[in-house]
């Protein structure tokens, strides 16, 4: 994985702007610590930061290739899992390769097929290709949006980057929030509206879309979307098809020239991925490394709730033993989490969510000395129906995004009255919800119940999953670690989209179909373990630590957060000494939120315009 950025300008000579283009790339060093490069032409500057995974010598970027008198240059972040098949096809069409890298396969695919090349890709990617002769810049992003891409237009300039910080390194893009951006931030939080960059005039290239920049303007095109149709296969055939798709996705994603591992929590999703990967390793006479996290004193502090039913550790050990992996437990303590508390915000360029992101970043940081690539179970819940709002009636039927009905009132109660008066947060959220529903690809003849289930799947795949992928990408790349997500293989997502809920919920349990698909590689009790969410710390030392930070913010007269929040309301929470709840917006989460927003406004020097 890597970090990419670039700058196109129709009026100024960018061959004289190499220092600034390099500065944009330098903001992405943690995404690509191993190498960097800049390529300049009069109209465009492309830059790259590289994390070496495949073909260390041949995959140098930006990569430039000539075909006759035509010159093409690419900067690319991602992995093509079908690059070997594509390479063979391109060779039959006369292409002669100069490297083993998938970068060259992607570039030559564009040379051969033009913008339609993205329809041939199976992978996770965000890239930009400059055609010097045509004077066009072509951007593409993968089907589910695993890899990020942001862009901004400023007069004659077009700028893009893997992260917003690359754009902010150019004086043309300033850290400003207008009314729309502020409303998006305060009403949607980390569950950003797809395409919304929050910062004024910054946009996100949507998953499954491409973008073409010419002298005539910018044109965005959708090349992939979910399509609804009747599912005709019986249950046994469906399970077998899912099993084959998963095994193919996992084994394709084990290709690497550097050490590779899997995340293993002991939950169904990561356990199944790890078991398939471990089997592939054993067939090659190797042993797979697996990783999980634990918190110091979690046996003492753990409090079961509907999202966290039990501890992961015993289950991770059971899977590691049955799959014969070399299992590593990363033990995290409160002082280390408090020390890293601002890193997720810096990785995201926006306020983060607290310890569920900090612990993930710290886990990856601790893994990095030993591995460079890891496979994860992300997106199985969205694709197979793992969350309670898929099947708990009172959660299914809320007239908003189901996960947003879990709570959050404390934050709004603390906001300044004049800020709330300038925007209607509830109306904005309702509009975004209706916008999402309007996109759902309907199936004629479905019952109202089935149509609602389809809506919930669409909301999760296009909204909730985007946050989960953002979190995984930013936290891993901040630690210079690449994470791959087999459940985001678009073939699997397409297939599962039309599988009826009765099959997905087979046996009356969430992800019943997936459980049966993994039954041949996992112990029976692991297959039947009920879903438990990503772990959070309940250690009182962490809670006391974040409460102390909020108290410092309250007593600091220069704290910028009080442009948005009422100081006395925050003070009341900061000096609350009662028992700390475990809900979605508990006191702990409240403290994390205040800390993140305050630090973001300080470090990024946010201007409200």
d(CA 144, CA 246): 16
Mean pLDDT, residues 297-308: 80
Mean pLDDT, residues 161-185: 97
Decide if pLDDT at 174 tops 90. yes
Mean pLDDT, residues 547-566: 96
Chain position carrying tokens 């990785």 = 347
Decide if pLDDT at 594 tops 90. yes
Q: Give the ranges where 253-379 is alpha helix by DSSP (H).
A: 268-283, 298-301, 313-323, 334-339, 343-348, 355-367
Instruction: Decide which of 43 and 2 is more confident.
Output: 43
Sign (positive or negative) of CA dihedral 344, 381, 195, 12: positive
Mean pLDDT, residues 52-59: 78
Query: Out of 295-299, 320-324, 581-585, which region has the weakest mean confidence (pLDDT)?
Result: 581-585
Strand partners, 508: none
The answer to whether 230 touches 498, Cβ cutoff 8 Å, is yes
pLDDT value at residue 579: 66
Query: Out of 221-230, 265-274, 406-415, which region has the weakest mean confidence (pLDDT)?
Result: 406-415
The answer to whether 567 touches 554, Cβ cutoff 8 Å, is yes
First-residue to last-residue Cα distance in the chain = 35
pLDDT value at residue 212: 98
Decide if pLDDT at 57 tops 80. no
The answer to whether 5 touches 137, Cβ cutoff 8 Å, is no
Assign 393 to helix, strand or coil.
Answer: helix
| Phi, psi for residue 480 in degrees, rounded to 5 | 60, 40
Mean pLDDT, residues 35-47: 97
Mean pLDDT, residues 158-165: 98
Mean pLDDT, residues 496-504: 98
Q: How confident is the model at residue 409 (pLDDT cuts 50, 70, 90)?
A: low
Joined tokens for residue 581: 């709840």
- Cα 397 to chain center, whole Å? 27
Mean pLDDT, residues 429-452: 97
Pairing of strands 63-67, 217-222: unpaired
Among 562, 493, 391, 515, smallest CA distance to 144 is for: 493
- The catalytic position among 1, 2, 137, 249 is 2
Mean pLDDT, residues 280-299: 95
Residue 117 is a catalytic residue: no
Strand partners, 67: 70
pLDDT value at residue 580: 63
pLDDT value at residue 576: 84
d(CA 101, CA 290): 26
Decide if pLDDT at 408 tops 80. no
Query: Out of 34-48, 298-312, 455-469, which region has the weakest mean confidence (pLDDT)?
Result: 298-312
Mean pLDDT, residues 502-520: 97
Chain position carrying tokens 């469906």 = 238
Q: What is the pLDDT of residues 90-109, one digit of tens each?
A: 999 999 999 999 999 999 99
The answer to whether 148 touches 473, Cβ cutoff 8 Å, is yes
> How much of the chain exceeds pLDDT 90, in percent?
87
Specify the pTM: 0.95
Q: How confident is the model at residue 584 (pLDDT cuts 50, 70, 90)?
A: very low
Decide if pLDDT at 581 tops 60. no
d(CA 105, CA 111): 10
Chain position carrying tokens 């089935």 = 450
Decide if pLDDT at 512 tops 70. yes
Q: What domains, with CATH codes, occur in the chain?
A: 2-222 (3.60.20.10), 235-297+310-330+343-393+440-527 (3.40.50.620)
Query: Out of 194-208, 259-273, 329-343, 528-542, which region has the weakest mean confidence (pLDDT)?
Result: 528-542
Query: Out of 275-279, 448-452, 580-584, which region has the weakest mean confidence (pLDDT)?
Result: 580-584
Mean pLDDT, residues 110-128: 98
Q: Over the chain, what is the mean pLDDT? A: 94
> How much of the chain exceeds pLDDT 70, in percent?
98
Mean pLDDT, residues 296-316: 84
pLDDT value at residue 407: 58
């Amino acid at each position: 994985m890597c970090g990419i950025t670039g700058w196109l300008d129709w009026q100024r000579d960018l061959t004289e702007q190499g220092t600034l283009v390099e500065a944009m790339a330098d903001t992405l060093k943690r995404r690509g610590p191993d190498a960097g490069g800049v390529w300049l032409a009069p109209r465009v500057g492309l830059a790259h930061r590289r994390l070496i995974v495949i073909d260390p010598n041949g995959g140098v970027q930006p990569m430039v290739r000539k075909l006759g008198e035509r010159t093409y240059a690419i900067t690319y972040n991602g992995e093509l899992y079908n690059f070997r098949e594509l390479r063979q096809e391109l060779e039959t069409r006369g292409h002669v390769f100069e490297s083993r890298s998938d970068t060259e396969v992607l570039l030559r695919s564009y040379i051969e097929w033009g913008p339609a090349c993205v329809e041939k890709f199976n992978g996770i990617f965000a890239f930009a290709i400059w055609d010097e002769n045509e004077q066009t810049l072509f951007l593409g992003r993968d089907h589910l949006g695993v890899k990020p891409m942001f862009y901004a237009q400023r007069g004659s300039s077009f700028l893009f980057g893997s992260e917003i910080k690359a754009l902010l390194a150019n004086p043309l893009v300033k850290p400003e929030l207008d009314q729309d951006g502020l409303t998006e931030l305060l009403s949607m939080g980390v569950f950003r509206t797809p395409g919304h960059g929050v910062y004024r005039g910054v946009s996100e290239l949507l998953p499954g879309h491409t973008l073409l920049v010419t002298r005539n303007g910018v044109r965005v095109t959708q090349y992939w979307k979910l399509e609804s149709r009747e599912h005709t296969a019986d249950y046994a055939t469906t399970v077998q098809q899912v099993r084959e798709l998963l095994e193919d996705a996992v084994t394709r994603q084990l290709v690497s020239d550097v050490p590779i591992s899997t995340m293993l929590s002991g939950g169904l999703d990561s356990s199944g991925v790890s078991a398939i990967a471990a089997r592939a390793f054993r067939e090659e006479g190797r042993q797979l490394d697996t990783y999980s996290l634990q918190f110091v004193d979690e046996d003492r502090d753990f409090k079961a709730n509907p999202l966290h039913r039990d501890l992961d550790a015993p289950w991770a050990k059971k899977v590691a033993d049955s799959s014969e992996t070399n299992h590593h437990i990363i033990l995290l303590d409160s002082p280390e989490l408090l020390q890293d508390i601002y890193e997720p915000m810096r990785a995201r360029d926006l306020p983060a969510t607290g310890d569920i992101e900090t612990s993930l970043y710290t886990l990856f940081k601790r893994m990095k000395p030993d591995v460079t690539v890891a496979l994860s179970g992300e997106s199985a819940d969205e694709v197979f129906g793992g969350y309670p709002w898929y099947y708990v009636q009172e959660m299914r039927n809320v007239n908003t995004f189901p996960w947003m009905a879990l709570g959050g009132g404390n934050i709004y109660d603390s906001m300044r009255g004049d800020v709330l008066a300038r925007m209607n947060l509830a109306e904005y959220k309702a509009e975004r919800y209706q916008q999402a529903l309007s996109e759902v690809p309907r199936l004629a003849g479905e019952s109202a119940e089935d149509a609602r289930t389809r809506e919930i799947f669409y909301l999760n795949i296009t909204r909730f999953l985007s946050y989960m992928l953002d979190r995984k990408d930013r936290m891993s790349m901040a630690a210079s670690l690449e994470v791959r997500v087999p459940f985001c293989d678009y073939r699997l997502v397409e297939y599962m989209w039309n599988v009826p809920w009765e099959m997905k919920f087979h046996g009356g349990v969430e992800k019943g179909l997936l459980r049966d698909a993994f039954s041949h590689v996992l112990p029976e009790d692991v297959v039947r373990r009920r879903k438990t969410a990503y772990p959070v710390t309940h250690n009182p030392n962490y809670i006391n630590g974040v409460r102390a930070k909020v108290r410092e913010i309250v007593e600091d007269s220069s704290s910028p957060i009080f442009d948005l929040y009422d100081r006395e309301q925050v003070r009341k929470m900061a000096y609350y000494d009662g028992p700390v709840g475990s809900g979605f917006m508990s006191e702990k989460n409240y403290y994390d939120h205040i800390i993140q927003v305050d630090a973001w406004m300080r470090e990024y020097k946010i201007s409200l315009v």
